[in-house]
Structure 1
Amino acid sequence: MSYLLYALLLSPLFALVVGFGLSNENEKGIFYVSFLSAIVNYGVLLIVSFLWFKGGFEPIFIQGPVLFHTGHADFAISFLIDGYSLSYLFTATFLTAIIIVFSKNYIHREKGYKRFFNNIKFFYLGLVLVLMSGNLETLFLGWEILGVTSFFLIGFYRDRYLPVKNALKVVSLYRVADISILLGIWLSHHYFGYSINFNDIEGIYSEHHHLLSDDIYFYLIPGLFLLAAMVKSAQFPFSSWLPRAMEGPTTSSSIFYGSLSAHIGVFLLIRIAPLWEGNYWFHFIIGGVGLMTVIVSSSIAKVQSSIKTQIAYSSLAQIGLMFIEVSFGLYGLAILHFVGNAMLRTHQLLISPSILSYKIHDQFFNFKKPQKQGYKTFYEKLKLTVYVLSIKEFNLDTFMYNYLWNPLKKMGKLIDRLSFRTTMTTFGTVFLIGLYGVYFKDLVPDLIKHYVSEMFALFSLILILKAFVNRESAIIAWSYLIISQLLLSLCFGYNEVFDFSQVHIFLSGILVSGIVGLLILNNLKNKGQTLDLNDFHGLVHDYPKHAFIFVIACLGISGFPITPTFIGEDLMLGHVHENQFILLAFLTVNLILDGLVVYRIYARLFLGLHKSDLHDFAYRSS
């Protein structure tokens, strides 16, 4: 059985590697490799389903390799197959195969034909990892892949302003979900004392009675996972990102944001259900979130002029109903609802261009002027109020900007007073002094010994905020980012006595990626390119290899699972104590912002409209 589950992962991975070796002009080869991968996975799923049926519908748990072992927890890969995961896997594989076939002609002769199919396969790989995950660590691995591929697919038309801008908006919120999952894993490790396998999660609170009397963690552990589910499934108040995620090709919009990716939050809640089932108030919270989403999304969907926006909010209303079904414990109904909604939204989005063409044609012959809306009675005024709010999408996008990102920008501008040279000299000296103190802790005065970790976390946060608001130069912002991560390693080093090899694991990917990124930026500067971050430069047209290497460096420095830093983040958080709330707050903001900084630098330099008139260009409104 283990070989079959590994085959489900290796098939899209092998197709992805082969796809990288094919040229963009070899459309037939790119298509057949992608389609064959989906067919192989569908066949493997049929065999796995037969074995699951033959085993009496008992969950199949496979313990995979242990990537890192510590005294209190293991970072291991494990898989779990049950009715819920199989339902999602069959639906995902079936729809992926349909989209691959549809995209063969839909993306025909696009410059990014190969890039599109590679992103499809990479997304599917991450989705399979999430759906087959047997523990939180494996789920987080796939979760990160989903976020990165979403950024690339939304910004597929990378020479246009709006797709790139909206890709940054979506990935900004995704980063909040990523850190919520990471903090949820951290709390779980602290309070259960080991890595949680989904196979053993039933009745976990009965083994840990102390959690039932601790209200903070009885709500906080499932609350962090709920926040991640709300963001990933675009539930209220995070709903505004979903229609903006449909800036990519219609085929990717239909499979990811109409049918599969947006439903992952429902799967997450079902998978961790034993963590919150005993908390009746939490049922009301989940149901309330779903109900608010249903009301708001239904109102917005009825008045939007864009067909993609209508479908997006209609899908959100159905996902809100799934949250309500999950809150009632009707997991089977929620899964059935998911399958039906995923099929419907995929169908609607794929036929939307032809339906839209028909409707425009029909309007010339059967147009009926709408009746004038009254506004005298209270009911009529209320209808108009709801109408205007729905047109403006209840100002959810403005709300996110004003209350989530704008305060961070204001904080960054307040501290953005020091020059680059002064900042690097000051914080570089602080790092060297701190590094000496880590290895000779006896020299640190007892008066400040208990506050050193918070101090270095604050220094790291100051630098990441400066990088977040910096517009002067990509090299300056990237340098701030590297020093910030170095100071963060000192924060962990002072917090507890442990094996320094864990810090080295954390820093290994950061240092290598940071140096590679600096080399790329300096090379572009030497070629005469401007590296300010006030506008999009579209350098991917002239420097595609630079763009590819730099995006790998961006993923490495932000903790994406291509370097040991991915494991290092989890290991470092394991040494933060549950009562260190100030330190945890600094770390949370730091981890969120470091991802946003690297995505912004990459997007500003390599994506968007090229400055030269020699290249094709799209208007800013497109």
Structure 2
Amino acid sequence: MNQLLVLFIAIPFLAFLVSLFWQNKSERAIASIVRFTKVLYIIVSLSFAVWWIWNGLQPVSYHLATLYQTDHFVFAFELFYDEVTAVFSIVGALLFFLVATFSKYYMHRDEGYKRFFNTILLFAAGYNFIILSGNFETLFIGWEIKGVCSFLLIAFYRNRYLPVKNAFKAISYYRISDVSLMLCMWMMHHLTHQNITFDKLGEAKNMAIQSGHAGMAVFIVCMMILPAAIKSAQFPFTAWLPRAMEGPTASSAIFYGSLSVHIGVFLLLRTHPFWEDMLWAKIVIIIIGATTAIVATFIARVQPTVKTQIAYSSAAQIGLMFIEVAIGWHWLVLVHFAGNAFLRTYQLLVSPSVLNYLVHHQYFHYTPPEQKPISKIKASLYMLGIKEWNLDSIMFTYLWSPFKWLGKQLQFLQSSIFIGILAFTGLALLTIGYTYQNSIPSSGGALPLIVMGIALAVILFAFSYRQSALKAWAYLLIAHMFIIAAVLLNTTHINSIEIIFYVSGILPAFLLGYYCLQKIKAIDNDISLNQYHGYVYEQETTGLLFLFAVIGMLGFPVTAAFIGIDVLFTYIESSQGALIILMGLCLLFIELSAFRILLRIFMGPHKKLNHPVAFRSS
């Protein structure tokens, strides 16, 4: 029966592949595939839960595959099933069926009908990867899939300004959580020197205590709490949640009302054995949850739009779940999760009907509100709530603006001469690092720091550059060269296959992206990043290919670069804090720079006005 865990992932993923062969106008066929998939998913979820209960509620684990293994590194897929997985899978199966059935009619004759259901099915596979994960590597695959699906559904109305802008905001926060989770995996590897499974996290905690590595344990816990807080829209990262509801109401219900937004709670539940004895971690989680519950409640009570009210109300409830997890009331958390997920899904799905009823109702039963004096405190809280406590502007000012300012100071790099110099230098460092790695002193030298610093500088320039998209794209490849060179210069030995893993994903993605940008440039010779071009309107296939290039450039799980990036992390020692911070920032801003190019060139309002174009405020 353990092997049947694979069905949870295989069913939605195979349905996703099958749905790709149908055209957008084949609504009945697509809906039938989705309905059959969701019914089968419900049957599998309930049947496995019954079998698990019948066998005494014992946790079930299954080793799916080992993709790569060396003396110092193992990349394996592990599946795990317990009471947390059972609740999340059953709730997920029921909500997927509910939303899919609703969407069959809600999305009728929409030009993105097929695209919507393709993304929903892929998200279902990613969601199951997360809830069934038995180790961090498996969880991270689902984490990445879910992030990209979220981005695609926020930007579902891709020829409008606000959905595209808010999709970039959401993916910016998501990438911070991605890098944080990668750093957690990196430090866990150095602590345990093995591919640790979730059922052995208690042993890893004892290992940290007995070996005197309390600092490593503190770092790991911080890198667990941060992505959990971001994914669940906890303070101070709450502002992205209502902005993520720019997509269709059905996707808002399944993503940001019910399942996706609770993944942070799942992460805390799954990693609880590691930090359950750390009082400071519990206090931090309780403070985050309590602050979010209070602030989000104040905001939700005064917001004028229904989606914003529901978003902040959901964040407030998740804040209470954080408190419950920290206290140890895990069954209460699971009940709370199920109740909140079903309630928010219901509220979002009926919100258009409710608004229509209220608009109709006020014509016949409208009574003007009474003018009542309010205290200064209430007025202040009201204004703070209306402005969402300025959370969005604070994050932009203090988190992103400093990096954009640094990138603007590097505008001298836009010269073609500097591109040639940097490309030649990167190749030279790669050659030296690979050829003479046995004779170069490793660990702690200044040279890897300098090279990684150059990589970050190049990426920040591409992140803030507003001229040619081709130049920005080329600089991302150059940055990858410097990243590999820095890791080569930091170690005395690295397997050639590991470099091949990395390059085999990055180089084809770069060439594909370069081809797409050249094709767009041939249309009107303008691919600047000063504005949105919206070329997906007339070049949909090219836009899809460039999306593949972007996710390949980032080391998405569809390429071998995903393994390569994970392996390269292990060659940075736990004592090299500065180097790992630089590499983390590089991976963070590479994704943001690549997605920025995608959004500016292919999405947003179409620059040609020979057809109707939506207003920026729509």
The two structures have a TM-score, normalised by structure 1, of: 0.97
- CA deviation map 1:77-126 (0-9, x unaligned): 11001111010001011101111110011000000000000010011110
Structure 2 distance, partners of 1:170, 1:215, is 33
Structure 2 distance, partners of 1:563, 1:142, is 14
Q: Please list, as runs of the form range in 1=range in 2, the aligned pairs for 1:233-244 lying within 5 A after superposition.
A: 233-244=232-243
The answer (yes or no) to whether the contact 1:467–1:481 under 8 Å persists in 2 is yes
With over 3 angstroms needed to count, the CA separation of the structure-2 counterparts of 1:323 and 1:449, relative to structure 1, is closer
Structure 2 partner of 1:387:
382
Q: Please list, as runs of the form range in 1=range in 2, the aligned pairs for 1:44-83 lying within 5 A after superposition.
A: 44-83=44-83
Deviates more, 1:490-499 or 1:126-135: 490-499
Structure 2 distance, partners of 1:336, 1:203, is 28
The answer (yes or no) to whether the contact 1:204–1:274 under 8 Å persists in 2 is no
Deviates more, 1:65-74 or 1:425-434: 425-434
Structure 1 distance, partners of 2:557, 2:442, is 39
Structure 2 distance, partners of 1:272, 1:177, is 15
SS at match of 2:61: strand
The answer (yes or no) to whether the contact 2:41–2:93 under 8 Å persists in 1 is yes
For residue 533 of structure 1, the aligned residue among 529, 540, 543 is 529
Structure 2 distance, partners of 1:106, 1:420, is 50
With over 3 angstroms needed to count, the CA separation of the structure-2 counterparts of 1:465 and 1:51, relative to structure 1, is same
State the one-letter code of the partner of 1:438: G
The answer (yes or no) to whether the contact 1:437–1:444 under 8 Å persists in 2 is no
2:135 matches 1:143? no
The answer (yes or no) to whether the contact 1:493–1:503 under 8 Å persists in 2 is no
With over 3 angstroms needed to count, the CA separation of the structure-2 counterparts of 1:68 and 1:445, relative to structure 1, is closer
SS at match of 1:64: strand
The answer (yes or no) to whether the contact 1:229–1:264 under 8 Å persists in 2 is yes
Structure 1 distance, partners of 2:415, 2:19, is 42
Deviates more, 1:520-529 or 1:440-449: 440-449
Structure 2 distance, partners of 1:529, 1:331, is 58
With over 3 angstroms needed to count, the CA separation of the structure-2 counterparts of 1:442 and 1:483, relative to structure 1, is closer
- CA deviation map 1:496-538 (0-9, x unaligned): 1221321221121001101111111112222335211111111
Q: Please list, as runs of the form range in 1=range in 2, the aligned pairs for 1:96-495 lying within 5 A after superposition.
A: 96-210=96-210, 213-374=212-373, 380-441=375-436, 450-495=445-490
Q: Please list, as runs of the form range in 1=range in 2, the aligned pairs for 1:571-582 lying within 5 A after superposition.
A: 571-582=567-578
Structure 1 distance, partners of 2:121, 2:443, is 51
1:617 Cα offset (Å): 1.6
Structure 2 distance, partners of 1:77, 1:607, is 35
Structure 1 unaligned blocks of 5 or more: none
Structure 2 partner of 1:606:
602
With over 3 angstroms needed to count, the CA separation of the structure-2 counterparts of 1:110 and 1:243, relative to structure 1, is same
State the one-letter code of the partner of 1:416: Q
The answer (yes or no) to whether the contact 1:610–1:617 under 8 Å persists in 2 is yes
Structure 2 partner of 1:570:
566
1:373 Cα offset (Å): 4.4
With over 3 angstroms needed to count, the CA separation of the structure-2 counterparts of 1:189 and 1:526, relative to structure 1, is same
2:543 matches 1:550? no
SS at match of 1:79: strand
Q: How many residues align?
A: 617
Structure 2 partner of 1:39:
39
Structure 1 distance, partners of 2:301, 2:427, is 60
- CA deviation map 1:18-42 (0-9, x unaligned): 1111000000001010111111111
Deviates more, 1:510-519 or 1:291-300: 510-519
The answer (yes or no) to whether the contact 1:75–1:195 under 8 Å persists in 2 is yes
SS at match of 1:80: strand
Deviates more, 1:46-55 or 1:35-44: 46-55
Identity of aligned residues (%): 39
The two structures have a TM-score, normalised by structure 2, of: 0.97
Structure 1 distance, partners of 2:427, 2:336, is 57
- CA deviation map 1:293-316 (0-9, x unaligned): 000000000000000000111111
- CA deviation map 1:354-391 (0-9, x unaligned): 1111112222333333333436xxxx111111110010
The answer (yes or no) to whether the contact 2:443–2:490 under 8 Å persists in 1 is no
State the one-letter code of the partner of 1:73: F
State the one-letter code of the partner of 2:13: L
With over 3 angstroms needed to count, the CA separation of the structure-2 counterparts of 1:390 and 1:605, relative to structure 1, is same
1:445 Cα offset (Å): 8.2
1:46 Cα offset (Å): 2.2
RMSD value, Cα: 1.6
1:552 Cα offset (Å): 0.4
1:433 Cα offset (Å): 2.4
The answer (yes or no) to whether the contact 2:300–2:309 under 8 Å persists in 1 is yes
SS at match of 2:606: coil
Structure 1 distance, partners of 2:442, 2:206, is 42
The answer (yes or no) to whether the contact 1:420–1:476 under 8 Å persists in 2 is no
Structure 2 distance, partners of 1:447, 1:520, is 40
Structure 2 distance, partners of 1:115, 1:214, is 48
SS at match of 2:412: coil
State the one-letter code of the partner of 1:518: Y
The answer (yes or no) to whether the contact 1:41–1:93 under 8 Å persists in 2 is yes
State the one-letter code of the partner of 1:611: K
Deviates more, 1:484-493 or 1:496-505: 496-505
